[in-house]
Amino acid sequence: MIEVEVHQQLRAFLREQGEPHWPHHLTMARLVARALRLERSALIQAGAPSGYDGRYRLSYLVPALIWPEPVLLVVPDTLRQRLLMVEIPRLKQWITVDKPIQTGDRWPYADFQGLLLTSPHHWLGDRLNHEGRFPKGIPAIIDGVDDLEDWTRQHLTTQISPQHWDDLMLACPAQADRIRDARVQLTRSIFQHPVNPYECHLLDAAEQDTLRSLQADLETACSALDAETEGYTRCHLPPQWKSFFEHFHRSDQLIWTEIRRPQGQFSLHCSPIDIAPALELVWEQQPFVMVGGVLDQDPDATLYRQRVGLDDITCLKFSPDRQSELIHLYLPERMPMPNTPQFQPALLQEIRQLLVASAPAEGPTVILVGDVPLKAQVGATLAAEFGSRVQLERTCLDDNGILVTGWQFWRTHQAVLPAPRLLIITTLPVPSLEDPRVAGRVAYYKRRQQNWFRLYLLPETLNELHRAIAPVRDTQGVVALLDNRVNHRSYGTEVLEALSPLARINYLDDGLFFSEGSLNTL
């Protein structure tokens, strides 16, 4: 059976190459091989996000290369380049197989029996839009499904940019004045919204009524009775507008506008809140193996599967190794709550003490600040005290540099930045209700009388934490979590479980980075 061959080949390769030890290589490889043989779908939580180090990649590459039938490998563009230039050539030197390997946005030809690498953008676009560029029934390995929900929403989001208004007037010249009036009316209303750090707003009822009225007028004007043929002749709306009008009035859609005030422009966005119905149709088209980091605290990934429309499939979750992936956690108990006036002064004082205490150690420090105004204030204050060591969201970092960054920047660039000796988390990455898009999704759950915190905010928070601390696990470094909600809220236990394995640090020591006597392993 292929499981036996994969086990033997991978074990011999690991021994010969002296690969860094990941204890689950063989288990995961056998499961992937079994899924290919039986065409039985599986979901694997491998521990580390694929965008960071992807230590598990060999475990699906070996069965994909050995399996004698065609396989589709869906990976992000940056990862695809590494696989083609580094990982696959190394394996092909060891594994004596003649399987053809190609990349592309469609299946090469009907009887192709090789391994095709494509991007999530091309694969999802094909499956969601029924384009037929990839045949059904071909087993697919999808890496990086930590971002599957974002990929899907990007594909299902319709955007109306300023250029699309011009396209609409060209398509319906008789209605150019009506279109122009609606655009002016929307511009006046949208720019009256107060400024917020996210530069976006949900469309209010009056603004949506303006769009509905425009849609009704266009449909009426574009439908003219032809007396001779007793039929209808229609002017055709541009595809972008047709898609927007088909979806924006539905209750399960999030409608918002992004504002570029300096240019005096705005764009409209229509996006589904619940993507499960769309993805349910995708999973029916082929067997698949989904691989991600930590998708759910539950080994069966119940909430994750619910969000992405997965039925009961084979699930496997690998826990971090207690010996090699343990972090040291400093969690002070007397910090003010983040929503109090006392928090910012106490936060800055705690950061200063951490920077001084960690000075003898080697390596950079990363300070994660989710609040946009607070991030700028922390950066400016520390730059005044620590000089050019402090950088605000820049990738050029000295060996003892201090990087002040938001969560998105850190997630995007942590793979190319040196692993920090100290990671300071100022507050938990709970999606802010001040972000209109977050508020809109919360309102959707409330309308359905669902637990919006447990179904949306908490999973997003834990997923972001897992990604953020991945580099610190490799170095067994220190994470300082300065959000006292962990100590006093019911979900604090789940946050600590998400950070495990960890060794708790109860106090700072002036003579050393941290006092070894203060460790309390959890």
* Per-residue model confidence as pLDDT tens digits over 363-402: 899 999 998 889 999 999 999 999 999 999 998 888 889 9
Rg of the chain's alpha carbons, rounded to an integer? 26
* Non-local CB neighbours of 419 within 8 Å, separated by 6+ positions: 363, 471, 472, 474, 475, 477
Give the model confidence (pLDDT) of 27-71 as tens digits: 999 999 999 999 999 999 998 765 556 788 999 999 999 999 999
So what's the pLDDT on residue 312? 84
Is residue 516 scored above 50 in pLDDT?
no
Judge whether 57 and 292 are in contact, CB under 8 Å. no
The DSSP-derived string for 467-515 is HHHHHHHHHT-EEEE--THHHHSTTHHHHHHHH-SEEEE-SB-SSSSB-
Q: Please, which pLDDT band fits residue 315 given cuts at 50, 70 and 90?
A: very high
So what's the pLDDT on residue 510? 46
**Sign of the four-CA dihedral 463, 464, 469, 474:** positive
Is residue 86 scored above 50 in pLDDT?
yes
Q: In what order do the strands lie in the sheet with 365-368?
A: 390-392, 402-405, 365-368, 422-425, 478-481, 327-330, 502-505, 519-521
Tokens matching residue 32: 């992937």
C-alpha distances in Å from residue 445, one per residue of 440, 454, 511: 9, 10, 50
pTM: 0.89
| Residue 470 Cα to chain centre, angstroms | 15
- Average pLDDT of the residues in 181-203: 94
